[in-house]
Amino acid sequence: MKYHIEGMDCASCIGKIETALKRMPGVSDVQLNFATETLELNLAPGAPTQASDIEKTIKSLGFGISANTGQQTVSAIDIDSDNQMAPQDKQWWQTQKGKQVVGLGILMGSAYALSLLLPAYGIWVFAIAVIVGVFPFARKALALAKTGSFFSIETLMSVAVLGALIIGEAEEAAAVVFLFSIGELFESIAADRARAGIRALSSLVPKSAILLDAQGGQRNVPATSLQVNDLVLVRPGDRVSADGSIVQGASSLDDSPVTGESVPVAKTMGDNVFAGSINIDGVLQVRVEKTAADNTISRIIELVEQAQASKAPTARFIEKFSRYYTPAVMAIAALIIIIPPLAMGGDWSTWLYRGLALLLIACPCALVLSTPAAIASGLAVGARRGLLIKGGSALETIGQVKTVAFDKTGTLTEGKPCVTDVVAFTQEDSSIQGQNSQGQDEILALFASVEIGSSHPLAEAIVSHAEAAKVVIPVASNASATAGKAVHATVAERALAIGSPVYAADEALISFTQQAQIEALQNEGKTVSVLFDEQNREVLGLIALRDELRDDAHEGVAQLKAMGLRSVMLTGDNRLTAQALASNLDVEWEAELLPEDKLRLLNEMKNNRKIAMVGDGINDAPALATADVGIAMGGGTDVAIETADIALLKSRVTDMAHLIALSRATMRNIHQNVIFALGLKGVFLITTVFGITGLWIAVLADAGATVLVTLNALRLLRFKGAPPLVNPPKVVK
């Protein structure tokens, strides 16, 4: 049986549902996926449990459930589902939890206003707010208790709030309910954003494909219907609809969705292509080698789903503590009320008073606030600095990482090619680079003239460089292109061409000196374009391009090293480029990696130590999801940002150090709050039992602890960032 579950906001929700279902006779093999909100289970034939019983139980726990009757599910097999893959239309205030927060806010605001105008009636409005607010939690706590989860956080909340209400602290009880409701709402929003990453991934593969029949006819078919050995047509500008190999044509393809390669790759007959890649300039016929269920993007989707399902976030401290704290406090309060009168002949009213005072002191108001107050301050100061942190678990974990893995393209680098070298050759094959700027300007002008009509990223970079250098670009004619190989044009009555060194070697005469110059530039990780005269086969000059490091990459990596963290660069780009840039940064590196390779390396590097992954591309999504903390650059793709736990909105490498420093400061603040709240309660629990302090001291102690914990958390708002480096690194271009 398959179901779609709504309302699972954190990993603990899975445990609650599993505990309830496993107690039902005839139910087995319960499998829940938090990322896709799906439930699968086996129900034995003839079992006393019916399908309606399963639905009723899950609804009683506060979750929505609907039968998954079709074959389509949110998985790599179906990337075109209209049910679960569609974006949610509701805004946060339109959801059930959003309405609860808004309603409680209105009630509390009314109560405060009324208590100022009519103090005698204010407490009743607070009491109404408490009853309305705690009712859903109390009902859920009762349902969880019936299904085996006796001491959940809902139980903790209900006991704390009702205890405060009984003693007359309705204002404090209302505040606790309101803050807890806000926390639940934030979890719901964060969970939906995580799932949006999978929805965005599915849009990378086209919904339809152009299928070629044996007679050469063309017809549009759904991409999901393609079978192995089908022949499909891919036009310029189209996305490749399936993994396969080219059987006819040549073109440049943008493989960045899959490999992260920053420069389009020239491909021809026999070369492999990936689903989701963008065809730039040639017409291709591709033979399908993998179905939609097994293509590259589908595998990435599956990796993200598996990573999100297996990566249980750090459970909230109060959730763990409530397993012991709640039953212990209830038992101690009951014993204090009952045992002295029965065993020692004590006065019932006296010990009832002391029991209620103990319950109030034990009311975890300060403890409940200690963590979320610090987290809220940390999230607020992070947002102010351009650090979008999706929840307290990510904020807590990032400060514990020991290794930071960086993607290269668009993360450590700018993500776009730029001209680094212009080399002009004389007829005697001697380089005049750096000696004759006029020669360089002439070669740059010829390059720009031939490339000016092309939309290729390398061509656009060359033209932009020429315009920035203010060289005069001559008018070209007879412009044409050899798909995936070269561009041609006539300039000043000379037939010129620009191509790769491999293409130029076949069409022109490259001397030993020129070849050495080309290899030297390639060894620096640069892409080289060669300009030559097609009539006399003379090489006129070279232009080298490279995706250069961000201006703050050196400082950012140096700050992490100063904080005791290891930095590693993982990239799908070629080894020469990776080695050159990694040597410049003085970091470890791995190159020519596919998404599954990055995933494997991350798992190997963990070695019982937490690891963060920083990326910006679609191909980084599985790695971002499987790392302990996934961090996306704000200028990256929507998929990376949605999949990641944290987004660096200003796309600065130095923000990584600020992020880790903020996490460590927040965790110190939380530890201070927890120790203070528990220590103060421990002292007054003892004094209350012995009758040293009374009810009003208990109220003062609890309220005072709450105020002090909140004020301590507000200190985080003065966070100034990571300390500056004493000796900043020297940048080498």
Q: Active-site positions?
A: 407
Q: Contact, 57 vs 26, CB < 8 A?
A: no
C-alpha to C-alpha distance for 499 and 600, rounded to whole angstroms: 36
Amino acid at 699: V
DSSP 552-574: THHHHHHHHHHTT-EEEEE-SS-
Count, in order, helices (H) and strands (E) of the chain: 22, 26
| Closest alpha carbon to 455 in 614, 241, 223, 237 | 237
Distances (CA, A) of 558 to 356, 562, 570, 611: 56, 6, 18, 18
What's CA 3's distance to the chain center, in Å?
Answer: 26
Pairing of strands 494-499, 527-533: antiparallel
Q: Which two tokens stand for residue 709?
A: 């914990």
Residue 335 main-chain phi, psi, to 5 deg: -65, -40
Q: What sign does the CA torsion over 505, 511, 514, 519 have?
A: positive
Pairing of strands 403-407, 566-570: parallel
| Closest alpha carbon to 275 in 250, 301, 249 | 301
Rounded to a whole number of angstroms, the distance between the first and last alpha carbons of the chain is 60
DSSP 386-419: TEEE-SHHHHHHHTT-SEEEEEIIIIIB-SS-EE
C-alpha to C-alpha distance for 136 and 102, rounded to whole angstroms: 15
Distances (CA, A) of 509 to 287, 429, 440, 555: 36, 11, 20, 44
C-alpha to C-alpha distance for 715 and 209, rounded to whole angstroms: 57
Neighbour-count burial of 733, counting CB atoms closer than 10 A to its CB (0-12 exposed, 13-18 middle, 19+ buried): exposed
C-alpha to C-alpha distance for 375 and 238, rounded to whole angstroms: 45
3 state SS of 291: coil
C-alpha to C-alpha distance for 451 and 541, rounded to whole angstroms: 14
Pairing of strands 2-6, 38-43: antiparallel
Q: Contact, 591 vs 574, CB < 8 A?
A: yes
Residues belonging to the chain = 733
Containing 632, the helix (H) or strand (E) segment is: strand 629-633
| Closest alpha carbon to 422 in 409, 408, 434 | 434
C-alpha to C-alpha distance for 563 and 557, rounded to whole angstroms: 10
